[in-house]
Homo-oligomer: A and B are copies of this chain.
Amino acid sequence: MATGRTHRPATRSRGIPEATVARLPLYLRALTALSERSVPTVSSEELAAAAGVNSAKLRKDFSYLGSYGTRGVGYDVEYLVYQISRELGLTQDWPVVIVGIGNLGAALANYGGFASRGFRVAALIDADPAMAGKPVAGMPVQHTDDLEKIITDNGVSIGVIATPAGAAQQVCDRLVAAGVTSILNFAPTVLSVPDGVDVRKVDLSIELQILAFHEQRKAGEEGSGDGTAAPAAAQEHRKGPDGDVPAVMPA
C-alpha cells in the first residue's frame, strides 16, 4: 500500500484541475512582466500568447478561479496577479530547506528564483562534516544531524532533495518524519512517501531521454518524403528471426 507513491494527487484539489494549477505559475509570470511595464489590462488572447497557451484554455483556467475579467475589455493585470498569487499560496512565506549541497544544491541555493516569490531558503543541509559551517550563497551549511531540529524550529513544510540517488530515500524519510509534507526531488530515484505528502521530481536524465526519443524519430523519418504514417516497415520492431533472444547485449 505504501509502495512507490510518486504520483501527484490527481484528485482535483478544491475543484481546480491539476493541469490548471500547473499553468497558473506561467500566467503569473507573464502577468508580473506586464505589471512591471504598467500595463493595466490584458486580453485572454494577448496573455495566452505570452504564456504560450491557447486562449480558450486560459479563459477556462481563469474560470476555475472565479476570476472575473471584463467582457469587451479583458483582465485587470494587478487584480489577476493578486488573485493567482493568493490562490497559489504565494502571499505567505514558505521556508524551504535544501538537502545535499553538492554542485546542484549549491546552484539551487544561489538561484534567485527561490527568494523572489514567497520562498525563502531557511537552511542548507549536507551530510558531509567537512561542509558544515562553510558558507554557500551567504549561508552556513548545516549538518544532517540537525535536520529534524531545523525543520521543526523553522516550521519548514517544503523540502528540496539534491543528494545523490542513494541517499535520497533516507533523507526523504527523515524530512517526512520531521513534518515536511511537500518534496521537490532532484535525485534520480523514485521516492516512496506516505499519503498526504506531495512529491514532484525534476529529472534531468529523463528529460534528455525523452528528447532523444523524439530526436531519433526525426532522424529516422528523413528521406522518406512526408512523415505522416509509419514509413519504416523496413526494420519493423526487429523482432528477429530467432524469436525473442536478443542478438546483441549492450553494457
A100 to chain B, nearest CB (A): 12
Binary interface profile of A, 194-206, with partner B (CB < 8 Å = 1, else 0)?
A: 0010101011111
Any B CB within 8 A of the CB of A148: no
Determine the distance from Cα of A196 to Cα of B4 in the docked complex, in whole angstroms.
35
Any B CB within 8 A of the CB of A22: yes
Residues of B within 8 A of A213 (CB): 13, 21, 24, 87-89
Known: A246-B82, A249-B78. A207 touches B212 (CB 8 A): no
Q: How many residues of A contact B (CB 8 A)?
A: 96
Query: Which of chain B's residues has its CB closest to A184's CB?
Result: B207
Residues of B within 8 A of A106 (CB): 103, 107
Any B CB within 8 A of the CB of A43: no
Any B CB within 8 A of the CB of A250: yes
Report how many copies the assembly holds.
2
Q: Which of B52, B94, B203, B212 contacts A158 (CB 8 A)?
A: B212
Of A115-123, A126-134, A139-147, A170-178, the segment with at least 4 beta carbons within 8 Å of chain B is: A115-123
Determine the distance from Cα of A190 to Cα of B137 in the docked complex, in whole angstroms.
27
29 sampled A-B residue pairs with Cβ under 8 A = A21-B213, A21-B214, A25-B203, A25-B205, A50-B190, A51-B190, A52-B190, A52-B192, A87-B213, A88-B209, A88-B216, A89-B217, A90-B212, A94-B208, A94-B212, A94-B215, A103-B106, A104-B111, A108-B204, A111-B204, A116-B205, A118-B212, A181-B218, A184-B204, A184-B207, A184-B211, A196-B227, A198-B211, A202-B204
